[in-house]
Amino acid sequence: MSVATDERTELCGIELEHPVINASGTFDALAARRAFGDAAWERFPFSAFVSKTITLEPRAGNPPPRLFEAAAGMVNSIGLPNKGLEGFAASDLHELGELPVPLIVSVMATSREAFAEMIGTLADRDEVAGFELNVSCPNVKSGLIVGAEPSETESLVESLRPLSAKPLIVKLTPNVADPAPIAAAAERGGADAISLINTIAAAPWSAGSRSEPWLGAGSGGLSGPSVREVALHAVHRVGAAVGLPVVGMGGIETGRHAADLLAAGAGVVAVGTASFRDPAAGLRIRDELRRFGGTARASGDPHR
Amino acid sequence: MSATGFDHPKAPFGRRLATVEMNAPTGGYRLVSALDSEGPDPAPGQFYMLATERGWGGVDGRPYLPRAFSVASAERRDAGVRLDFLLESVGPGTEALAGLRGGDGLWITGPLGNPFSAPRDLNPRAAGAILVGGGIGIAPLAVLRRALSRRGFPHRALLGFRDRAHSGGVSELFSCSEVRLASEDGHAGHRGYVTDLLETMLDGDSAATAVVYACGPPAMLEAVRAMSLERGVACELALETPMACGFGACFGCAVPLAEGGYMRLCVEGPAVRADRIATAATAGAGHR
């Protein structure tokens, strides 16, 4: 494992300059380049870029409001707005190929066939270093949330495995009693890595005049510092249950938080909501992580 | 950007610490000034994400996300650009910002978003601009007002406030302007809505040579949008929605488009043409 003197690492064959990547849907490399100019790419804050989740067909996303500021974090119900596979492959992918870091494409579908079409279409694109399978969604045929059922997860990964030689990272939801059996199922299906956690199901509500859910879609997912210990627990459980590398994420705001997740069993960490507060948060967290020597357990009493 | 348009500067990458120079009351609002030693001059209508250096994250864990604020005025100095923001304490984030003192640190990311269009980009025959502001929403119009003055482009401002407690900034931000006021409680100017003044003015003007810019509460903006569309008047609105990041990453600031679907207000706005959107009555208040 990497140490402070050499922070280079790798994620199932994808070479990384350092162990800090982004969580899908929390950084838009193309929008950042437009807002901040080339500096956003020259000082790219992550050692790999995980795209926002794409789906087979274009999606408009959920009706607003989509955001709620929670205690130490936020609830979002964005609804995966994206251009769809064709739009992504025709426009965004080319520009993303110029990124100074490897590109991991996040994909989601509600059927095995749609997943297969996306992986099949993108598998031979040189711009793509690997895939993240977002399985926090139902299979329309079985009605089951794929990432909540070991058998669904295993058979999905098994069916996609032959379609690409590139790494398949399975992104797990924390909205299950225990993520370890799901991770083990993904491993049996042929996954190359596990990433977790996705957001925690949440629904802000207001009493009084507005006696309805706050969010336009009714419910959403909690992220930010408030989920940090949930992530540590899930990463530790999964790290102990599988032999695959784990991408740990959830509430990382500082290098110390990143070091804690690495100590809990992650090989690579992903920064999510913190990028909303500072687009360059990933750079600071990487620098701070160096002081912890990459994987060393952060010292100090959290109750101080 | 057209030859007549405003420059559209890009923000430095990453948030940076500005120093608060002043926090002064203006009516029921606060005018907070901070010196940004690194960034470019913002264009009219652009905004910044703001968070206090200290005390961000109170007893209940809020505020957590930065808050989006339009610049109310910007003045280039030797040491940087002085940015003024018009604030009202209506929640934990705005309370922390409104409590800033001289010398305090203020995290800023920006300038962000698309500026207002130049009048003749909205209407090639534009002969004069009407600026319609409501409450705290007068801020971006103040920057626009100065830009139009520098170009010698004729303009009038119509500013409306709910009551004395929800007013301020007029004398600081709109001095040397032709201003008409409205207030719902009648404490200043016309008793009623600022859109009453707009209607009267449009009745006397030729729609063919008018251009309207507006910023204010959602209900006011929706009234301005409907009025301008009905009369065929070129109109641009500066909107506000809950926003986590301000730079296109979170997709939280969705505004419904007239053609269906949504735009991200932070990167496609906050200044948007009235005919582009399905409604200006954006859902959900700001994070406050």
Residues of chain B that touch chain A, judged by Cβ-Cβ distance less than 8 Å: 10-15, 51, 57, 60-66, 93, 107, 109, 112, 241-245, 247-256, 260-262, 264, 267, 282-284, 287
Q: State the ipTM, two decimals.
A: 0.89
Q: What is the pLDDT of residue B206?
A: 79
Q: For chain B, say whether A205 makes contact (Cβ under 8 Å).
A: no
Q: Which residues are CB-neighbours of A169 under 8 A, at least 6 positions away?
A: A11, A12, A104, A130, A131, A132, A133, A191, A192, A193, A194, A195, A247
The pTM of the full predicted model, rounded to 2 decimals, is 0.93
Q: How far is the C-alpha of A78 from the C-alpha of A65, rounded, in Å?
A: 9
Residues of A marked as catalytic: 137
pLDDT digits (tens, 9 = 90+) for A212-265: 888 999 999 999 999 999 999 999 999 999 999 999 999 999 999 999 999 999
A110 to chain B, minimum CA–CA distance in Å? 21
Residues of A in contact with B287 (CB under 8 A): 67, 69
Count the Cβ atoms, other than its own, within 10 Å of residue A274.
23
With CB atoms and an 8 Å threshold, state whether A72 touches B13: no
Q: Which residues are CB-neighbours of B107 under 8 A, at least 6 positions away?
A: A278, B15, B16, B17, B18, B49, B50, B51, B52, B53, B56, B66
**Nearest residue of B to residue A30, measured between CA atoms:** B248
Q: What is the pLDDT of residue A300?
A: 45
Q: What is the pLDDT of residue B287?
A: 57
With CB atoms and an 8 Å threshold, state whether B262 touches A61: yes
Q: Which residues are CB-neighbours of B235 under 8 A, at least 6 positions away?
A: B122, B211, B212, B213, B214, B224, B225, B228, B229, B273, B274, B275
pLDDT digits (tens, 9 = 90+) for B267-280: 999 999 999 999 99
Q: How far is the C-alpha of A89 from the C-alpha of B241, rounded, in Å?
A: 30
* Closest residue to B249, CB basis, from A27, A72, A74: A27
Q: How far is the C-alpha of B30 from the C-alpha of B26, rounded, in Å?
A: 6
Share above pLDDT 90 across residues of chain B, in percent, rounded to a whole number: 88
Q: How far is the C-alpha of B225 from the C-alpha of B241, rounded, in Å?
A: 17
* Closest residue to B60, CB basis, from A71, A74, A275: A71
Count the Cβ atoms, other than its own, within 10 Å of residue B159.
29
Q: Cα torsion at B112, B117, B118, B120 (round to 10°)?
A: 170
Q: How far is the C-alpha of B236 from the C-alpha of A112, rounded, in Å?
A: 45
Residues of A in contact with B14 (CB under 8 A): 43, 278-280, 283
pLDDT(A159) > 60: yes
